[in-house]
Amino acid sequence: MLSRDVYIDAFKKGMRVDDLGNVYGVRGGKRKLKKRRYENYIKVTVNHNYKGTSYPLTVSRMVAFQKYGEALFEKGIEARHLDNNSTNNRIENIAIGTHSQNIMDIPREQRVGRASLANRKHSDGVELQIYYDHSLGLGYKRLSKKYNIPKSTIRCIVLRVKKCA
């Protein structure tokens, strides 16, 4: 497992992260951090040379390794930002856990919003028409028949559009 080996090598050579999330290199100097965007997520990284190749190490995983040791590398375990701020790598903000626990660190409103937007199957136009028809008095059952969409989905669409309007 290359990732594990690179983190362990960096640690053995003396690379450390302080309580505030600052990284210090193998010679003790403060290292410059980079912010890399992965989809809608920002990772704070620092490069480490391992066997002649430079690898980006995420600061959160470095903190987690310092705090929890090799438990970080167990199957299904990841580093978590408890406050859902991926740039806050203070030691008290980093924990390890499952992906499910990591997702639950995101505030409920954001989780639901992300899920509902990611799972949308209907265009804005269709959703607006459903909302308009509902405002004219059509109930969920009739809207469900008219658009061939389950009542529960119709309800979610109406509530989402109402919230945005």
- pLDDT, tens digit (0-9, with 9 covering 90-100), for 121-142: 777 788 889 988 999 999 999 9
Binned at pLDDT 50, 70 and 90, residue 115 comes out as low
* pLDDT tens digits, one per residue of 14-43: 999 999 999 999 899 999 999 988 766 788
pTM of the model: 0.68
- pLDDT for residue 107 is more than 90: no
Selection from 128, 123, 65 nearest residue 94 by Cα: 65
Beta bridge pairs of residue 81: 94
Q: Residue ranges of the alpha helices (H) in 13-107?
A: 59-68, 99-104
For the structural domain made of 2-106, what CATH number should be given? 3.90.75.20
- Residue 92: pLDDT above 90? yes
Q: What is the DSSP letter of 157?
A: H
Task: Tell me the average pLDDT of the chain.
Answer: 88
Going 137 to 138 to 140 to 141, the CA torsion angle's sign is: positive
